[in-house]
Amino acid sequence: MVGHSDLKVIINKEIKNFHSIWLDEKGTINAIDQRKLPFSFEIFQAKDLKQTCFAIKEMVVRGAPLIGITAAYGILQAANAFIGEDFSQLEKKLKNASEELAKTRPTAVDLFNALYRLEAVLDSSLSVTKNIESVKSMVETIVKETLEECRGIGEVGNRLIADKCTIMTICNAGALATIDFGTALAPIRKANEVGKEITVYVNETRPRIQGGRLTAWELHNEGIEHFINADGAAGHLISQGKIDLVIVGADRIVSNGDIANKIGTYTLSVLCKEHKVPFYVAAPRSTFDLKTASGKEIIIEERSGEEVRTAMSIDSINETKAKRRIIHHPFSQNVNPAFDITPAKNISGIITPTEILQQPLEQSIKRFFG
């Protein structure tokens, strides 16, 4: 484990600190295996590009900023594995690596933004050695920026959270989805740190239960009061006045302010608009896609119906090896869109590392990026 981390992990009743991902001295990617949480805590190791692509595609790692960092590490792995002095061959190798990484998941824009930034540092006038150093330097910059921006999101977003506030969130936009701190969970962490009394309602987030498995795991480790609710219970809780504020993450924010986020986010935004509950999105700069005009143009990832038909479970709290079990009619067909689009008009504001972008979002985003 390199560097200080604020992600608390309780192992054998002892609190330890981890980043969600790190690169060791051998160039191996080490990542908390999010497929196994909360039932067991395991570190997945990706020693080459193929294993790194697997980690992204199969959701060993997930969350837009973390996917971007993992892809950046994958490019660095490919660069470090290059043997030779021919720049054109290095460029070709990294282009091929970038294309493989780009195929893993289509919706989260942080992946593509990271790949673009790494492609841009290549310079044919420099030696192969210097180019590999440039790639390494840019990867370090991406990691550092993500850490700093998520910390900033916590500071800025904390202004929205009053003492005794009840906050609802969906999916996991915590340290597990970034590298530390989180996006939607960063303000919650900060509010807890400064002594505010808060309660978090966690939408379980079918079908992969990222809320019930991952967000709840993070909040438990932080000692933050929380309740897991079925996705379908959100409307009742909001209509009963139990929710003061909703904060969600994002996988892509386009130039008009529309966002793509975990399936069910759009539903939450409609409920909030109906009941006049503030609905905020938290994201670093890397999650903005200014080249895309509206949410209608975003590709929505369709995942396997197996995720809908089955769920990981254990028979008792003492078990650590979860089993995947069929949970409903096994012969029916399933649809499994992983994300939905929330229109800008349903969003109260976007929490960035330095300020909260207000309505009209399209104008605020344009000003924010200058």
Instruction: Show the tokens assigned to 148.
Output: 């700093």
Distances (CA, A) of 64 to 38, 59, 319: 20, 11, 30
pLDDT per position as a tens digit, 45-98: 999 999 999 999 999 999 999 999 999 999 999 999 999 999 999 999 999 999
Q: For 212-222, what is the mean pLDDT?
A: 97
Residue-level pLDDT at 289: 98
Amino acid at 115: L
Question: 4: pLDDT confidence band, cut at 50, 70 and 90?
Answer: low
Which phi and psi angles does 187 have, rounded to 5°? -60, -35
Question: 2: pLDDT confidence band, cut at 50, 70 and 90?
Answer: very low
Residue-level pLDDT at 41: 95
Residue-level pLDDT at 52: 98
Which among 110, 251, 289, 340 is annotated as catalytic?
Answer: 251
**Burial of 334 per CB tally in 10 Å (0-12, 13-18, 19+):** middle
Stated pTM of the model: 0.95
Question: 127: pLDDT confidence band, cut at 50, 70 and 90?
Answer: very high
Question: 3: pLDDT confidence band, cut at 50, 70 and 90?
Answer: very low
pLDDT per position as a tens digit, 169-216: 999 999 999 999 999 999 999 999 999 999 999 999 999 999 999 999
Domains of the chain (ranges; CATH) run 7-151 (1.20.120.420), 162-368 (3.40.50.10470)
Q: For 262-273, what is the mean pLDDT?
A: 98
Q: For 220-245, what is the mean pLDDT?
A: 97
Question: Does 244 qualify as catalytic in the annotation?
Answer: no
Amino acid at 295: G
pLDDT per position as a tens digit, 285-316: 999 999 999 999 999 999 999 999 999 999 99
Residue-level pLDDT at 13: 80
- Three-state DSSP string of 32-86: ECCCCCCCCCCEEEECCHHHHHHHHHCCCCCCHHHHHHHHHHHHHHHHHCCCCCC
